[in-house]
Amino acid sequence: MSDLDWSDINDFDEIVELLKFLGRAVAKIHCISDVDSDQTLIDVSTDEAISEALGGREDEFVAEIVDFGQQYGDVARDDHQLFIDAFRNHRILGL
């Protein structure tokens, strides 16, 4: 996701708006068929489109996915710890 600048998204309303757009993008991706799909609504194959987009750069793609997964895991662990600390110290309003 190097083409997206996330640094200016700080406000809750901005996050909600972004999530709406990302949700639409994910829904669109999920409605497109893959090679094994028998649905006929969408006649584009994601498998073939991804393969064509990679164009022989599979190793680079795998490295990017692994890096993303490791970074995401770090963030998720940090977020979980922040939540646990806030929960245990009664800093979550309404609980």
Question: Whose CA is closest to 14, among 5, 2, 26?
Answer: 5
- Which pTM value belongs to this model? 0.48
What is the per-residue pLDDT across 45-94, written as a single tens digit (0 to 9) for each?
Answer: 777 888 899 999 999 999 999 999 999 999 999 999 999 999 999 998 87
Q: φ and ψ at 63, to 5 degrees?
A: -60, -40
> In total, how many domains does the chain have?
1
Question: Which residue pairs from 24-28 have beta carbons closer than 8 angstroms and sit at least 24 positions apart in sequence?
Answer: none
> What is the model's pLDDT at position 45?
75
> What is the model's pLDDT at position 38?
66
Structure tokens at 84: 């646990």
> What is the model's pLDDT at position 25?
79
Predicted confidence band of residue 12 (pLDDT cuts 50, 70, 90): confident
* Inside any domain, residue 3: no
Residue 39 pLDDT > 70: no
What is the helix (H) or strand (E) element at residue 84, kind and residue range?
helix 58-88
* Inside any domain, residue 70: yes
Classify residue 10 by burial, with Cβ atoms within 10 Å: 0-12, 13-18, 19+. Answer: exposed
* Inside any domain, residue 6: no
* Inside any domain, residue 1: no
* Inside any domain, residue 63: yes
* Inside any domain, residue 7: no
For residue 19, give its domain range: 12-88
